[in-house]
């Protein structure tokens, strides 16, 4: 039996700024995880990832990350994604310091 496909978002780092971005429903890149489009169909997710990865003049290293769907938006399913969504724990730098 194939593994159950868990909800995912597409994330990457911005080419120029280097910071973490998420793909939205309208094909824009957002700095906030809560704006990300949640993908629940595996075939759809793979196609969306191929298209996102081709946007090499905008982002680097696009991949699918597990999330827990919720309101107002998805939450990270793994601690690595929590840190990416927030910033480092030793200083209040990165996303946690930015007025989003």
Q: How far is the CB of 43 from other proteins (least distance, A)?
A: 25
15 contacts 3 by C-beta, under 8 angstroms:
no
Residue among 25 and 57 whose Cβ is closer to other proteins:
57
CA distance 59 to 53: 8
Residue among 26 and 79 whose Cβ is closer to other proteins:
79
- Chain contacts with other proteins (rule: CB under 8 A): 13, 15-20, 56-57, 60-61, 77-80, 83-84, 87-91, 93-95
Nearest to 20, CA basis, from 68, 80, 92? 80
87 contacts 94 by C-beta, under 8 angstroms:
yes
Q: What letter would DSSP give residue 38?
A: P
Q: How far is the CB of 40 from other proteins (least distance, A)?
A: 20
Residue among 44 and 93 whose Cβ is closer to other proteins:
93
Q: How far is the CB of 65 from other proteins (least distance, A)?
A: 12
């Amino acid at each position: 039996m194939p593994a159950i496909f868990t909800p995912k978002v597409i994330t990457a780092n911005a080419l120029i700024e280097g910071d973490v971005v998420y793909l939205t429903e309208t094909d824009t890149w957002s700095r906030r995880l809560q704006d990300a489009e949640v993908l629940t169909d595996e075939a759809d997710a793979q196609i969306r990832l191929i298209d996102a990865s081709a946007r090499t003049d905008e982002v680097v290293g696009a991949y699918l990350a597990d999330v827990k769907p919720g309101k107002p938006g998805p939450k990270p399913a793994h601690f690595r994604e929590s840190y990416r969504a927030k910033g480092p724990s030793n200083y209040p730098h990165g996303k946690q310091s930015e007025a989003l």
